[in-house]
Structure formats: C-alpha cells, structure tokens
Structure 1
Amino acid sequence: MQSDIPAPSGQKTPLAMRDYEHISQPPIFTKQQKEKLTEKEIKQRVDNRRQERQTIIADAIKRALQGKPTHLFILWRERDTYDVTCQTLRDAFLLNEGEDFPEHVKVSSVWINEPNLLKPLDTAGLAPKDRQEFDNQIRKQHQTKLDAWRNFLKHEVIALIDPTTKPYCFAIVEIGQTKKKGVHPKQSIYRVVREACVLEKIGSQMVQTVKPKSSDKEDESTDTSPSYSKKTEGRILNAVLDLTLRQVGALYGLPSEVYERAGIPKEIAQKLDVIALCRRKATQGQENIHYALAVRLRANGAVDVLFPDRNNWIPYAQAGIELGQIFSRVRCDRNYKTVQLKGIELAKFAADVLTQVGDCPTIALIEADVWRNERGEENGGQAWFQLKILPFFVHPDFQKTEESLKSLCRVPHYLRISPAWSMGNIHSPYPMHLGKQLIKDHLCILGVEV
C-alpha cells in the first residue's frame, strides 16, 4: 500500500518514534546563537538538554518494566572489554563522570575468575566428519560447560541480587573470540552462556573480547589511554542498546501519542492495545523448529507476551527467561513436538489470542505468510479461511469513513521503529519485531544457528 500521508518527522515526531541516536545528540547552535550566548549559557543549555534526555531514558525503561527495578551485570575477563562496556553503558544513559544510574537501575561488574569458562567446547580430537561421535562429544561438553557456568553464576552473580526487591536481571557477558581458525562453530560457548543465564533467570547479551587498536608509536614515558576502533565501539553500543532497550521492550515515549498522530481518536488511542502474532521457522539437524508467540504493546508502553498453551500474559522482560527455559527442556528431553507447531496449531493459537482480548480496543497484526496459506506443507493443509478478507473484522466505529480505515493502516506503519535501531525503519512493526527477536535470541539453546 502507498502511504497516503508522510510519517511524522521533525520536531513534531512523537518520542515513541525516536531512536537512541536522536536522544543522544547534543543541541545544535546557530552562528547567531553562538555569537549571542556566553560559553556559560551554552554549557547550561547543553547540560539542561542532557538532563532532560536522561529522564526520558530512565522513564522509558521504568515504564517498560512496569515500575519494577532492574539489575544490570557486566561479566568480563579482559580489562579492555570491561572499560569499553562500562563506558558505553554509561553513555546509553547519558551519564557524565560522577553521575549515578537512575535509582531503579543497579549496575554491578563481576570478573570471570575462571579462564576455562571462556574456552571452546573440547572435541577430544574428533572432527565434524566423525558426525555422530562428534555431535555426542559436543553434547557432553555442552552439559559440562553449562554446569560450570551455572555454578559461576550462582556463586558470583546471584549472590549480589537483592531478594527483597526481586529485580529483573540482565547481563552483558564476555565470551572471548568466537571465530578462530581450527575451531568449529559448534564449539562456541554462546548457547551455553545463554542457556545458563536463562536457567538462573538472567537475560543476557554476549560480546566478544575487546582489543585496543595497535599503536605504531609506543612511548613508555607517555601515559595514554588505549583507543578502540569505530567498529569495536559500534558493536559494543549495539549490544548495550539491545540489552537495555530491546530486551526490556522500551520506547522513549507513549505509544498512544503515535496512534493519535496516525489519526486514531484520542479517547481510543489512550487505551489501544496492538497485538502481534509472531513466528519463526528454523532447522536443527533432522528437526524442523516452528514456534510462535503473541506480543501485546499497550498504550502506556507496557509490553506483554503470551505463549501457546498458556493462559496468562507475562511482561516482555520476563518472557525471554520463560522461553529460554522452554527451549532448554526441549533440548534436554529431545522432544521437539512443543516447538514444531503445525498449521492447525497456529490457527488455534491465533484464535486463543484473539478470544482473550479484553475490554481495550485492539489492533491485531498478523503476517499473511503461512498464517493464511490454504495449501502446502507449511500449513499442514489447514487454512485460516477468514484471513482471505483482510482485515477480516473491523469495529463499526472505523467502518464509517475511509479516513478511519486509513488510520488503522497507518498504525503498523508508524510502529516500524525501535529506539535501539538507528539505521532507518525496522522491517516489522515494533511488537512483531520484539516477538521475532525474542524467539531468535533463544533458538541457539536448541542448537540452531541463526
């Protein structure tokens, strides 16, 4: 469909449509302003802008976590990794030196005191060509390394968490260099760390070891701080923003303001839910993985998730732990039926989601692909035939004029944004993006390489 009106831009853009790049930009002064203002006045305006943006960031995370505190951990082995990650985390909250994190955000650093934790899985001399023997060795080593990581987390991380506040816990974890000559991808500790963290109820984001740029001029008499490449700083920033924004489901402003800009009446926009049905398909060995879930974005910025065969919505920040544990049980039992949804099961799940819609006005977002196919192996020969007249039901209030129908169509288009993504629009509307990323994050536990 062609856009009938331009998406919001410029100064009138709702905060919920802004990204970190915009939020972190200092104010720009014209030549006339620079001539008119004193250095002190300019500095004061810069400080005021930064403090205002600090509040926006803190409120976004607090809103997404529905008021519950969070505890962020930096798990590091090499000092350069710690230094860059720590500074980047402070930058994500726009903190100057000496300033504290928001009161509902606690940050702790933990040194990975056992170097063996970062070593690749031991193949015992077996090669991938040995197939079953190689896979059995990897499986055995996975469990050994998993036990070691869980033991480390229990003693060094869990012990630091305040049990009285029961915060959401997230960790940025250094995992060494993942691509090394002679090391097979199956030897990576990535999925071990992810699984260990979810079993200990910690959300995680892995980063490779940081190395400073080599200096051609080495002078022992000069004490200079190490410098890092733009690529290195960029990947650490992406990891930090993914953990602090995307993994909690944060937006910098209220979604209701976006809906109003799309043309939805204010009284509806302020209580509108947007529910997205999200699915991913992947292959693991002989098994086909096909999993789905629903994500609900509320007008006040709260984000919830519903899993198949569950009756209750849970916060997005908690859903990663739940999904990771589901996948972990599947891996241990080697019973893949619960993560191999067929066409009829997808249709039933969609119906279950829509019949659980409460009193709030709701827009449901469903991809045409697979959900409405009437033939083929993808869908088990089952059709959700109602999806042939899209959208297949619209509230009478929005059937009265063409403009009201268009306002519904603008909502998913305007929601193709993410505060952690500064490279243009994301492909799917935000709640659908969150759901797909949630599944993608944890497929590695099943041995799927995404």
Structure 2
Amino acid sequence: MPKKNSSPVALPARMDLAIDSLSDMRIVVLKFPFSKEVQDFCRDIQQVLRSNAKVYAPYRQLNNAILACTSTLTYGFESSMPIDYIPQRQALAVGKSMESIATPAQIYQLIYIWAKNWTTQFLNKQANKDEFRSVCDRFLAAIERIPSDWQWEYIQPETLIKDINTQNGLGYQAIPSLLVSLLHEQTCTISSGAREQTIVWRKVQGDGSTKIGLHLVSQPFKATYYIDDSDDEKEGFFAYRLDFYLQTQAGRLNSAGHLKPWIFVNLSCQRYAHEPLVKNNHGRDISILMGMNKARLDEYPIDSTLVRLTVENNASKPWQEQLPDVLTAFKARPLVSPIDILNDPIKFGNLDYIDNWKQDEYYIVHAEGYGYRQESQKGRGHGHSIKTGFSLKERADIINQIIQLLDGILIPDRSMECDVPTPSGKKLPLAMSDYESHRTSLNPSEIKKNAQTEGEKETYIKAEQIIVASAIKPSFDRKRIYILIIYQERHTRELVRQQLHKAFLIKEDDDFPAHINVIDIFIDNSHLLEKLTVSGLPSINKDFDKEIDKQHYLKRKEWQAFIQEKIVHVVNDKSNSDLFAIIEIGTSNLKGVHPRQSIRGAVREACVLENINSQMLQTVKQKEKENSTDDASYTKATEGRVLNAVLDLTLRQTGALYGMPSEIYKVAGISEEIAQQLDVIGFCRIKKNNYIGNTPFQYAVAVRLSATGMVDVLLPNQKQWLPYSQSGLAIGKLFHQARKKDADSLDRVQMKGGHLVKFVADVLSQHLEHPTIALIEADVWRNEGSKDDRAWFQLKNEYLLAQRDILDFSHVTGHTTYQRDDEKFVNLLGVIRLRTNQETPQYVPNRETWNEDKETSDFTKLSGFIDKTVSELLHYFSVGRIPDTQKKTQHTTNNRELYKKDLGAANIAYKHQQMVEILPFFVHHDFQTEDKLKALCRVPHLLRTSPAFTRGNISRPYPMHLGIESIEDLLCILDLD
C-alpha cells in the first residue's frame, strides 16, 4: 500500500489499438460449403432411423481432425450466431502472410473423407440397410465436387476495428488472434536486480470448450523448492499463459459512432503434468496440448502452434470424437495413445525445452482435482506442486515487455483514481463486519484495549455476543431456530458443537442464545450413509443413469422416514420454527466411486421436503498424533472445514448481517431519510448446459435486502416475497418436482431469454415497495435467447448510452418502453449493471505507468475507483481487499518481488482480487449529480461483504451472493452440482 496520506491508484491492463496499426496483417475466413447438404442428410437419416432423437453432424470431430493435420489455422469450422440468428460455420486464419495456410482443395479433401467416414456408422445398421445406403449415397454425391467459387475471403482488420459488431462479431476472436500471431516465437526478458528470465512465446489454438481464438504460452519452466530442512524436494512444470481479450465499454465510441475496442492483457499460470496421472475429474475431459514437428499429412502446412485436443474421461480414455479413426481415414500419421501420455507425461512432452526435439509434443494441462504419483507412491496421488498466480511485480514486468514488443500497436490506458476510502476500525458499519473480526475482538489483547475492570470486560464480551445472537434470528413471526446435528461419528458431533459455540462467541459450557435450540440426532442406521449402489460405472454400465435415479429415490425416501421419526420427538413447535441441520454424509472422493453416487442430493431433497435447510459435512476424523507434539485433537484444516460449514448454515443460510444495511447506505453517501428505507434488489441467475435434451437448466430469482437487514426472495411465477430461509425450501421443492419430470416444473427451471426479461420487468414495475436500487449482471441477461425470444438487449454496451434514461421492455408481453418519469418507477432510484471476470481488466496497484519501477502491493481494504473515460456514463470499479487466508509470509516485501521461477516462489499462491465494473442507468432525477451517482455505485461496492466470508470480499454484492448460493445449494437435487 502507498504511504498513509497518498491516494492509491489502479493501472488497468487494458490497451487502445493504434489507428491502422494492423494494416499489413491478414484476416481470412473460409465458409463451410456444405451446410445445407449436411442438414438434409441429418434430417433424412433421422427419418430412416424412425427416431425422435435428432441427428447432429460431428463437426467437433471434423475440426479436431483438421487442426491435428494443419496447425496454421486459428480455428476450424466453428459455429457462430449472426445477428439474423441463422447459424453459420466458418474457419478463420490470421497472420502476416497467407502462404502457409492450407488451400481450400486440401481442406476439401479432409471434409469429404470425414463425411464418408461419418456415413459408415449408418451403413453398418442391420435393419433398413438399403434405405441407409440410398441416403448416404445421395449425401456423398451432393458433396462430391468442390464448389468452384469456394475460396478464402479476405477481411481488412480495420473493418473489424472500426465496427466491432460487423461480420457477426468476428473481430472479438480475430483481433486478439492477430496480436497473438505477432508475438508467436518472439522473446522477452524480465529482470529484477541480478535475476533475468527469458520467455519465448508460442501460439496455442483453442481455449477450453470454446475452441476459438488463439492465446500464447511460454516455454515450460521447471520450478524446484524445498519444503523442509531435510532437503525433501518438490518440483513441477509451468508456463506463462497470455490471453488477449477484446472488450468494449458502454459509451466509448469512435468517430463513426461505433463502439471503440479495448484490448485486455491477461496473465495467468498454466501447469503441466510430469508424473503419471492417477486421478482426474469425473465428468470432465482431459486437455492435452499437441505440437507437431513433422507434418501429419504430406504437403499440409504446419508451424510450431500448439493444438488443444481432448481425451474422453472414462476407463479406456480415448481421444475425443474417435479422432484416431478419422486420422486413419485421412491416412495421416497417428497420434500417440492417450494412455501412454497419461502414464508417462515427461516422455512425450518437451518439458525440459530441448532444442533438437524432433517428435510430436504432448503436454497434459493440469486442472484442480488431478492427482499424480511418483513411482514409489501408491493411492490417489498428490496434487500439483506449483501454486497458481504471480506477484504483481511479475505481472507488471511481463505486461510491460508485451507493450514494448507491440510498440506502435497497443497504447496503454491511464491509471484510475481512487474513490473515498472504505471505512475501517470503529468507523466500519457492523453490517460490513465478518465473523473473524468479532472473534478477534475477544482476543485477550483486544479486550484489554477496550476494557479495564472485570466488569467492563464482561460487559464488552456480552455486547459482542449480543451482536452475533441478534444477527442469527428467526424469520418474520417465527419464534425459534432449531439447529440439528445429525451425525454417526462422535468426532463429527463433538467438533460441530465446538465450532457452533465459537460461531456464537461463547464458551463450550455456556448455553446457546435463548432462541437457538441445538439438538443432537444420532444416525442409528449405517445404511443411510452408504453410497448410491450401481452395478458398474458409466464406462461399462449402459443403465447407469437409470440405476442412479432409482437409488436416489430410495435413499431420499429412507432419509425422509428417518427425519420424520426423529424430529417428531425433539421439535415441539415445528410449524413455528426455522429448522436447520448439519448432516454427516460420510467421505467423498472414494476410489472407484462416481461423484453421482454421492448421497448429497438425496439427503438435501429429503430435508427440503421436511422443511429443513441443510448443510452437508464429511465425516470428521481425529488428527494422527504419532509424530505430532500438538495436543489439539483435530487439524487446523479440519477445524476450518467444520467452522466454514457452521458459519454457512448459521449466517449465510439465515441471510444474517451483524448490523443494519442502512448504516452502509449512509456511509455510501445516501441521505439518512432514504437510507432508512432503502431496498437493494439483486437479480440472480444460474445456467447449466446439457440438462435435459438440448435445453439447459436456467433459473433466476430476485433477492431483496432491506434497510433493516431483512432478506426476502421473489421467485418467478410468484407474487409474494418469501423470507430467505423459506425461499430455499420453495426452490428445493420446485427442483424436486422437476426431477420427477413434471412438465410445468421443467418449464420453470428451463427459463428462456423471454422468461428472464419478463421476470425483471415484472419485478421492477410491480414489486418495489420502498426506494430501491436494482442490481443485474450483464452476462447472459443482455443476450440470452433467440430472435423471437430475447432477453434484455438494452444491457449491451452498444445500446446503454443512448438508452440510459429508459427501460426498454418493448419486446416483453404486457410491457412497453418506460420513461424515467413513469409513476410505476417512482421508487426505483436506478438500475446498476455489473460486469466481472474476462469483461474487466487485470490491474497493478499504485503505478501510473507499466514501466514505473515502484513497489506494488495488494489493496488491504475494499477499494473503489472512478473511470473517467466516458463522461456521459459513470463507470465505477470495485476491487476487493487481499484475502486474510493468504499467508503473511507471502505478503512480505521480498516475496512480493519474486518471480514464479525463483526459489520458493512456486510454493506461494499469489491471488489478486479482480475488478468489478459498476454502471448505473435509468437513474432517478434526484440522483443525477456526480456525487449522488457515486453514492449509488458505492452501495453495491460496499455490499461486497458477507459475515460468513473471511477470505477477502465476495465477488457479488450481498443480496446477489445470497441468491446465487441458495440456488447452488439445491442443484444437487437435479444432479447438477
């Protein structure tokens, strides 16, 4: 942090593009020539199959095969959704020259062989063989000749830069990919004192499941560090990863009135496996980067670009989409077997960066949850030895080098100025405090600071306990809270009770507050904790899904019966109480057990049907004390895990705050009169793909935080707000019905764009009872849906400036375009749009320029920054404080200067908070001065706190956080967790 009286700044890693700087670069596209023929074939085959199941073309197989044969494309025939909503597939290539790009004739050869290979799966059908042959022959005849006018089409980079939404938004992938291609095989050197590190950049195709665009990685680096004094050494391999993102900003326009692009530069750490992979993540494929040092097909162009391929996650672990079969049909050089790569990564990857490496390269990209073993080790393996993240100095130095390499192309943005300081210490509103701050306040040294006599000390302690007890209260007119500890192992019950006492800041022999009843319920039937029984994992069991559904039903009924039997004896006034339970569910992540065999969803569903909010907890075990001099019964990690569960149940699931939000609103600059009445409503949405058929799960709620701290939830299709603790039960019961395939319930959990925007319009026009600030994320809400089923397009950057004083619900049934003076919205002070993740830039604190040699440090307090790029709209950026869980040794001056490859730095998990963009629109006339606009923005900024969250700041404001977590809790009922 800077010295006390200086004002902190944040230098965002976003760059302007110099005019005409890419004029000598090339962008070319090649449209897929047989879209209609493929569509007709899918339709005809479906008819011959006499099935309602739709037939889809294996385009992913084609694209993977093309990239495995020629690495000079940016991506293959990927789908895009044009403005007119007619799907289109086209390949993209970028660079200084197009001479090394595969010709249309070469690509056509691969398309035809792929199509022919695709038809063979139907020709092998036993029934209707002649019908299948007729359809297949007709399809192959239709694509037998290459179209005469089929060529790569040239697009000038300037065309995309001047209007980023032209060509169906192609520039969002093409422009960043151009920058990547400029840096391909370029080097840069970072140094500090006597240390120097040279980085060689290399293109990579694809980004996870999107498969579009390019990014950069460095050569692999080996990092070694000592973990104890006996020279017990760990090592691991990593690479610097650099992504360019093209983003726009509402109101930032060029001379032609189009959105002017920003380029975000994003640095991250990519880790590679070097030991056998013995544990991977269920349900997720394995990513492997493949580099060719010899053409897979003669005369097909290649370069040193790495191609992302995927391995299926099952027992046999083949390449995804039967890729070897297609390559065999191409008569191409085969890929190495994935099993061989996974069993010996160091043999197939050039991890030591050897100059004369001749064979293909394969790099297993590490993901959280992977386990590795050395030859001498057994079991489930250990995690990766390198932690993610970088020091801020390393981020600044690498980005500065990138700017130098792209001199004349990228123009760095200026730093942002800090808003008013966030209150701290005794000025901090109680509603912004967390459990850790109250626990710390009862340390002997803190008590001594605030109280002298024994009587004063007792009064001081009692005051803290009252704050906590008052926060955790029943909803509305209910009188009591029951907390049920449902356990089988004694240690689980013992530690949960210990941590419950800690949560209420009382001693273990003290009584809980009068309105809190804590009751132990012993699980006397061990079958309740047994995993869902199946006859084999999905790789060998075609009935796995059916067996899981049946076992889930049986387990849920069994738990319901158990709960009904036990609770009737211990809860006397069930209808007049809020019920919460911490439930032991055994141990997860067992070898040979699929995650879907977990009983979590069945137990949660049983609790919901019995009107109990629940928190699952894995069995607690005592610490092994053979080699330990510590007298504690449980490890710090185990105690922390249980405390987190207790805090989530008692604080987050009750929607508690330690004080009244009205105090936060006054600190933000809201007048006292409005602050005492102000509601903050957050719209919360979760989407999960591949739910049922091709319709994803999508569900949304509105959460209202009142000035007094009361939290209510409005569900779609309902007219009354529910208390937060009761809304989770209502959502859970809806999910229960959806699991039973109830048609109405399925429709309600598969919301489309039109459903989403109507929900927002209804809430804002019909359900505001007091002065209100509404919060909504830009992501998905602005573009979900189809041409006739749109969400809220007004939230897009291209519309928000011109429409800043209206609510455009003209496309919503029962609504229109509302003006600011419409009497329906007299209580709406403003709508605030939020953006996060890749839509906001990385940053470095306390530097005015990237080459400034100045010490950097994470912000120790929640910090707000004013962006003055667009004068007509206020863009406010919120940055969270450094997490309390970050080791103090990691935040010393010396460690903040380390590079990832420095001795010891690989073991330091630098984690820097992201920026959150806060943008108000449809602002009430009384709030349209600069000071009052800032006050509106500070409300969601200061609400990025939660009493149960002690690891820095939550990413969303508190009411949105509550809504998202509530839905997330219940996804296990639908097997979507």
TM-score (normalizing by structure 1) = 0.91
Inter-CA distance 310–379: structure 2 relative to 1 (3 Å threshold): farther
Q: How far off is 1:187 after superposition? A: 0.7
Q: Are 1:371 and 2:774 matched, yes or no?
A: no
SS at match of 1:120: coil
In structure 2, what is the Cα distance between the partners aligned to 1:171 and 1:438? 15
Per the alignment, residue 322 of structure 1 pairs with 730
Q: How far off is 1:10 after superposition? A: 1.8
Per the alignment, residue 213 of structure 1 pairs with 623
Per the alignment, residue 180 of structure 1 pairs with 590
Q: Are 1:432 and 2:840 matched, yes or no?
A: no
Match of 1:296 among 686, 704, 712: 704
In structure 1, what is the Cα distance between the partners aligned to 2:956 and 2:536? 42
Per the alignment, residue 244 of structure 1 pairs with 650
SS at match of 1:253: coil
In structure 2, what is the Cα distance between the partners aligned to 1:98 and 1:326? 41
Q: Are 1:338 and 2:748 matched, yes or no?
A: yes
Match of 2:674 among 268, 271, 287: 268
Give the number of the structure whose alpha-carbon radius of gyration is greater: 2
SS at match of 1:391: strand
Per the alignment, residue 100 of structure 1 pairs with 511
Instruction: Answer whether contact 2:754 2:785 (CA < 8 A) is retained.
Output: no
Q: How far off is 1:285 after superposition? A: 6.0
Q: How far off is 1:132 after superposition? A: 4.0
Per the alignment, residue 424 of structure 2 pairs with 9
| Amino acid corresponding to residue 722 of structure 2 in structure 1 | I
Match of 1:109 among 520, 523, 531: 520
In structure 1, what is the Cα distance between the partners aligned to 2:652 and 2:445? 35
In structure 2, what is the Cα distance between the partners aligned to 1:380 and 1:231? 52
Provide the aligned C-alpha RMSD in A: 2.4
Match of 2:926 among 391, 397, 403: 397
Q: How far off is 1:380 after superposition? A: 6.8
Q: Are 1:444 and 2:950 matched, yes or no?
A: no
Q: How far off is 1:49 after superposition? A: 2.7
* Residues 27-426 of structure 1: pairs in structure 2 closer than 5 A: 27=442, 41=452, 44-62=455-473, 68-123=479-534, 125-163=535-573, 166-216=576-626, 227-283=633-689, 284=691, 286=693, 287-333=695-741, 335=743, 336-373=746-783, 377=785, 382-387=790-795, 388=800, 389=804, 391-399=920-928, 401-426=929-954
In structure 2, what is the Cα distance between the partners aligned to 1:393 and 1:66? 36
In structure 2, what is the Cα distance between the partners aligned to 1:170 and 1:127? 34
Inter-CA distance 431–66: structure 2 relative to 1 (3 Å threshold): farther
In structure 2, what is the Cα distance between the partners aligned to 1:150 and 1:379? 45
SS at match of 2:713: strand
Q: How far off is 1:292 after superposition? A: 0.3
Instruction: Answer whether contact 1:281 1:289 (CA < 8 A) is retained.
Output: yes
Instruction: Answer whether contact 1:324 1:445 (CA < 8 A) is retained.
Output: yes
Inter-CA distance 120–379: structure 2 relative to 1 (3 Å threshold): farther
Q: Deviations over 1:106-134 (max 9, x none)?
A: 111100010000000111x2221245411
Q: Which moved more, 1:379-388 or 1:331-340?
A: 379-388
Q: How far off is 1:306 after superposition? A: 0.3
Q: Deviations over 1:35-76 (max 9, x none)?
A: xx9xxx565554333211110011111276566421110000
In structure 2, what is the Cα distance between the partners aligned to 1:68 and 1:3? 45
SS at match of 1:333: coil
Inter-CA distance 210–30: structure 2 relative to 1 (3 Å threshold): closer
Q: Deviations over 1:387-434 (max 9, x none)?
A: 3236332222212x2111110010000000000000111000000000
In structure 1, what is the Cα distance between the partners aligned to 2:767 and 2:785? 30
In structure 2, what is the Cα distance between the partners aligned to 1:71 and 1:160? 10
In structure 2, what is the Cα distance between the partners aligned to 1:172 and 1:2? 46
Q: Which moved more, 1:280-289 or 1:207-216?
A: 280-289
Structure with greater contact order relative to length (CA < 8 Å, sep ≥ 6): 1
In structure 2, what is the Cα distance between the partners aligned to 1:403 and 1:184? 55
Q: How far off is 1:163 after superposition? A: 2.7
In structure 1, what is the Cα distance between the partners aligned to 2:460 and 2:760? 44
Q: How far off is 1:160 after superposition? A: 1.8
SS at match of 2:933: helix
TM-score (normalizing by structure 2) = 0.43
In structure 1, what is the Cα distance between the partners aligned to 2:933 and 2:474? 30
Unmatched 5+ residue regions in structure 2? 1-415, 805-918
| Amino acid corresponding to residue 402 of structure 1 in structure 2 | E
In structure 1, what is the Cα distance between the partners aligned to 2:440 and 2:495? 20
SS at match of 2:921: coil
Q: How far off is 1:345 after superposition? A: 0.7
In structure 1, what is the Cα distance between the partners aligned to 2:752 and 2:938? 31
Instruction: Answer whether contact 2:586 2:618 (CA < 8 A) is retained.
Output: yes
SS at match of 2:953: coil
Q: How far off is 1:437 after superposition? A: 0.5
In structure 2, what is the Cα distance between the partners aligned to 1:30 and 1:202? 40
Identity of aligned residues (%): 49
SS at match of 1:108: strand
Instruction: Answer whether contact 1:190 1:206 (CA < 8 A) is retained.
Output: yes
SS at match of 1:304: strand
Q: Which moved more, 1:5-14 or 1:285-294?
A: 285-294
Unmatched 5+ residue regions in structure 1? 219-223
| Amino acid corresponding to residue 12 of structure 1 in structure 2 | K
Instruction: Answer whether contact 2:946 2:954 (CA < 8 A) is retained.
Output: yes
SS at match of 2:681: strand
Instruction: Answer whether contact 2:474 2:578 (CA < 8 A) is retained.
Output: no
In structure 1, what is the Cα distance between the partners aligned to 2:657 and 2:432? 8
* Higher helix content, 1 or 2: 1
| Amino acid corresponding to residue 200 of structure 1 in structure 2 | E
Inter-CA distance 338–268: structure 2 relative to 1 (3 Å threshold): same
Instruction: Answer whether contact 2:920 2:937 (CA < 8 A) is retained.
Output: no
SS at match of 1:365: strand
Instruction: Answer whether contact 1:26 1:46 (CA < 8 A) is retained.
Output: no
In structure 2, what is the Cα distance between the partners aligned to 1:357 and 1:68? 27
| Amino acid corresponding to residue 955 of structure 2 in structure 1 | H
Moved over 6 A (4+): 28-31
In structure 2, what is the Cα distance between the partners aligned to 1:413 and 1:431? 12
Inter-CA distance 180–30: structure 2 relative to 1 (3 Å threshold): closer
In structure 2, what is the Cα distance between the partners aligned to 1:22 and 1:195? 35
Instruction: Answer whether contact 2:581 2:615 (CA < 8 A) is retained.
Output: yes
Per the alignment, residue 437 of structure 2 pairs with 22
